[in-house]
Amino acid sequence: MRLLLLVSLLLFSAGFIYNEKAQAEEQETYYGKQQREALTAKIGEINISTEENSPYDAGKDWLYRLYLLFTIIGVVGAWCGIAVIYQQTKATAQAAQATERYVKLQETALRQWVKTRNWDARVTDPSNHPERLQIEFEIVNPTSAPITLMWTRLSTPGGNMAVGGFLQNAMLIPDHPYIIDVQAGLNHQQQQDYLGSSGLILPVDGSIAYTDALGDKWEQKFKLVLICSRPGTRTSEYIHTLHPIKNA
């Protein structure tokens, strides 16, 4: 009987001790879990606070890197566009200059002029009017298009003369000359020279104004020397110069 009671007491003590230990372990597990959760939350707060307080790193921002890439591409493209526009502008300017030179060349090739020929100067009435020298010459259009004569003038040591022989604004057709006839006055010494063996040496300055087929107005000046005598007339080499008439 005593043995049975002793065994019961031992079993009850063992169960009580086991229950106390189990409760202690359960409490330790619960409080340990709470502490770990609290510690984890605290660490998370610290990490979040650290991330919030850390400086912005653009090198790790892929949106910023993409924006920077497109910006660089845009700048390079803009410079390439400017270079292309510059080259096109330069080529256009060169083409315009070439066209202008071509037009000028064509205008030069189509430029018209006149020439004089068959000069004759003589005293037609030496007995009654030895002071009158009759000068005659032809104006010829050697080009392929008609021109319009405006006026002609001659100048000799005896003075200036307005030359007649054609109507103002008369058309001069190619290879169809106008014959010009004008009188020049001679002084006594010139009359003697004309009758002498050497003849009269008479400098002549002249100008012919005309309008070409393009509507441009020109004054063609010329200089020559007439050697006049009773047997006939000779001419020196003479030059022509062409001058545009502005505001005509």
Predicted local distance difference test score (pLDDT) of residue 41: 59
Whether residues 82 and 171 share a domain: the answer is no
Is the pLDDT score of 151 beyond 60? yes
Helix (H) or strand (E) holding 233: strand 233-235
> Does one domain contain both 156 and 233?
yes
In the chain, the percentage of residues whose pLDDT exceeds 70 is 67
Residues 104, 120 within the same domain? no
Q: Are 147 and 171 contacting, i.e. CB atoms less than 8 angstroms apart?
A: yes
pLDDT classification of 103: cutoffs 50, 70, 90: low
Residues 6+ apart with CB under 8 A from 160: 153, 154
Q: What CA–CA distance (Å, rounded) separates 181 from 121?
A: 10
- pLDDT band for 14, please (50, 70, 90 cuts): very low
Considering the domain boundaries, does residue 230 fall inside one?
yes
**DSSP string computed for 119-175:** EEEE-S-TTT-TTEEEEEEEEE--SSS-EEEEEEEEEETTEEEE--SS-TTEEE-TT
| Distance in angstroms (rounded) separating the CA atoms of residues 216 and 207 | 16
Q: Each residue of 35-64: pLDDT tens digit?
A: 656 656 555 555 555 455 556 565 666 777
pTM over 0.85: no
- Rama region for 165: left / alpha / beta (φ>0; ψ in -120 to 50; rest): left
- pLDDT in the model for residue 70: 79
Using the predicted structure, report yes or no on whether residue 120 has a pLDDT greater than 90: yes
204-227: average pLDDT: 92
Closest CA to 194 of 137, 124, 136, 128: 124
Instruction: Tell me: do 79 and 182 sit in the same domain.
Output: no
- Mean pLDDT (the chain, rounded): 77
pLDDT the model gives residue 7: 41
CA distance 200 to 131: 12
- With cut-offs at 50, 70 and 90, classify the pLDDT of residue 243: very high
CATH number for 173: 2.60.40.10
Left, alpha or beta for 131 (phi > 0: left; psi -120 to 50: alpha)? alpha
Domain span at 65: 60-110
| Mean pLDDT, range 179-199, rounded to an integer | 88
Same domain? For 165 and 188 the reply is: yes
Both structure tokens of 179 = 């014959």
The residue out of 85, 110, 135 marking a domain boundary is 110
* Torsion region of 44: left, alpha or beta (phi above 0 gives left; psi -120 to 50 gives alpha): alpha
Segment among 38-52, 203-217, 218-232 with least mean pLDDT? 38-52
The number of domains in the chain is 2
